Amino acid sequence: MSVIRALHQQLVSKERSAVEITQAYLDQIAALEPTLHSYLTVTGDQALAQAAAVDARIAAGEAIGMLSGIPIALKDNLCTQGVRTTCGSKILENFVPPYESTVTAKLRDAGAIALGKTNLDEFAMGSSTENSAYQVTGNPWDVTRVPGGSSGGSAAAVAAGECAVALGSDTGGSIRQPASFCGVVGLKPTYGLVSRFGLVAYASSLDQIGPLSRTVEDAALLLQGIAGHDPRDSTSLDVKIPDYTQSLKTDLKGRKVGIITETFAAEGIDAQVRAATATAIQQLKELGAEVQEISCPRFAYGLPTYYIIAPSEASSNLARYDGVKYGARTANDSLMTMYTKTRAEGFGAEVKRRIMIGTYALSAGYYDAYYLKAQKVRTLIKQDFEVAFSQVDVLVCPTAPTTAFKAGEKIDDPLSMYLSDLMTIPVNLAGLPGLSLPCGFDDQGLPIGLQIIGNALREDLLFEVGYAYEQATEWHQRVAM
């Protein structure tokens, strides 16, 4: 059973109070944080006050929704009014937003309980959560290894039982890749399905907020709570949100599943990851799905395309951190020196690297050769997916080429680190939904993720295929800590 559904039943039957449930998660955080380092800020008093309010509603005989009284962790690039929001960066070390993001406001209004803000790669730029200015988060399956990134804190918190569910953000795989590394479920929704208002921007045409959870049903319930049109986000889609739980079925008769052939021949893919994914595909066949190979010939160009478009947008978005309006300021006599020193001292190495790449790609004389060309290739990648979805309902491939690597192993080799997002990036470039769920373990006891990709706004199909697979296997029942 899903974690959310189990807790909801305990609350409505009065078997446990919201305060008791919240305290149990806070106790788990207190026990594990000295070694795990998932959270940057824990809001224990606030969480207990929110829980007491839920208990008061139950005592008064009010009906509560599925998310009411559910303890949740929030990635620290979501603005929370009155609670520090750092983005894992020194430049926002003391920033307390004066407003609430749309998704966190929706969760608050639904009665969800915010336990705190989780660690991330600085400004969500990274694949290991080692680029945080504050701490390195451990992987709950082996704390000497990374939890993935950039939503590594959220993924680790879910895997270690430090929250019921969590929110992350995904620009090039930042929900799905840590979900794969930590053995949990992670969903990157269709671009525009979830409001980005109050999400601190990295690359605005790619960023999307989504759930991390223990089960597919939990992901469906959490997406239900955060999806929907928001007039404050100009890219928000005005579409009807279906009841995603209606898609949770246990057989796949009549479903067509495509295997992206290029991903199995991809550079650096681990043999055990390939084998576990192949076994998962066989399981989908046994559940009644028709499986066929599908070629997405431009899939491999996703990585170089992303590393022009995303840094270009970051270069523009991060220009606002200049020491003038908010965030850190390095005092100096001259305005230009203040700008320069504030940014030099406030940003970490990876953020500086991406700002410089982006500024170069957008500069006069290089714009057409790099940025414009990348946008054209992005269109071709999207067209490959359109052709594929004219033949099948969903596509499958590994979520990441490898399992979790050792902390420090790739930190000095940015190109090797970037390859961690090889399988996930094309999905963001095309604006499509992607789901990662556990499909096995390697010989080191580390989780392996299966990625299911859907056409735009077909999250229902991802939940259908993911749930059927999950119910037929036991990977999601294994516990890390």
Q: Is residue 123 part of a domain?
A: yes
In this prediction the pTM is: 0.97
C-alpha to C-alpha distance for 105 and 281, rounded to whole angstroms: 39
Which active-site residues does the annotation give?
75, 150, 174
Looking at residues 173-184, what average pLDDT do you find?
98
C-alpha to C-alpha distance for 325 and 4, rounded to whole angstroms: 40
Q: Is residue 376 part of a domain?
A: no
C-alpha to C-alpha distance for 214 and 175, rounded to whole angstroms: 13
The four Cα atoms 159, 163, 167, 173 give a dihedral, to 10 degrees, of -10
> What CATH number does the domain containing 45 carry?
3.90.1300.10
Q: Is residue 385 part of a domain?
A: no
Query: Shortest CA distance to 270 belongs to which of 128, 400, 411?
Result: 400
Q: Is residue 153 part of a domain?
A: yes
pLDDT in the model for residue 208: 98
* CB-based burial label for 379 (10 Å; 0-12, 13-18, 19+): exposed
pLDDT in the model for residue 266: 82
pLDDT in the model for residue 337: 86
Please state which of the ranges 283-297, 366-380, 404-418 shows the lowest mean pLDDT.
Answer: 404-418
Full domain range(s) for residue 95: 3-255+392-477
Q: What are the helix (H) ranges across 75-175?
A: 102-109, 152-159
C-alpha to C-alpha distance for 118 and 166, rounded to whole angstroms: 9
For the segment 102-135, what is each residue's pLDDT rounded down to a tens digit? Answer: 999 999 999 999 999 999 999 999 999 999 999 9
The contacts of residue 27 (CB under 8 Å, 6+ apart) are: none
pLDDT in the model for residue 341: 83
The DSSP 8-state label assigned to residue 435 in this structure reads E
Q: Structure tokens of 250?
A: 């246990």
Q: Is 23 helix (H, G, I), strand (E, B) or coil?
A: helix
Q: Is the peptide bond before 150 cis (omega within 30 degrees of 0)?
A: yes
Q: Is residue 224 part of a domain?
A: yes
Q: Is 385 helix (H, G, I), strand (E, B) or coil?
A: helix
Higher-confidence residue of 321 and 384: namely: 384
C-alpha to C-alpha distance for 468 and 472, rounded to whole angstroms: 6
The residue count for the chain? 481
For the segment 7-57, what is each residue's pLDDT rounded down to a tens digit? Answer: 999 999 999 999 999 999 999 999 999 999 999 999 999 999 999 999 999
C-alpha to C-alpha distance for 477 and 481, rounded to whole angstroms: 12
Query: Shortest CA distance to 436 belongs to which of 179, 174, 158, 245?
Result: 179
pLDDT in the model for residue 327: 81
C-alpha to C-alpha distance for 423 and 16, rounded to whole angstroms: 42
Residue that the structure tokens 């239900």 belong to: 224
Looking at residues 383-389, what average pLDDT do you find?
98
For the segment 392-448, what is each residue's pLDDT rounded down to a tens digit? Answer: 999 999 999 999 999 999 988 888 888 899 999 999 999 999 999 999 999 999 999
pLDDT over 90 at 142, yes or no = yes
Q: Is residue 204 part of a domain?
A: yes
Number of domains in the chain: 1
pLDDT in the model for residue 331: 81
Residue that the structure tokens 């520090």 belong to: 84
pLDDT in the model for residue 267: 76
Give the Cα-Cα-Cα angle 36, 41, 73 (nearest 5 degrees).
Answer: 75
DSSP characters for 24-63?
HHHHHHHHHHHHH--EEEE-HHHHHHHHHHHHHHHHTT--
Q: Is residue 331 part of a domain?
A: no
Looking at residues 376-381, what average pLDDT do you find?
98
* CB-based burial label for 279 (10 Å; 0-12, 13-18, 19+): middle
Q: Is residue 142 part of a domain?
A: yes
The contacts of residue 192 (CB under 8 Å, 6+ apart) are: 233, 235, 236, 237, 431
The four Cα atoms 287, 288, 289, 293 give a dihedral, to 10 degrees, of 90
Average pLDDT, the chain: 96
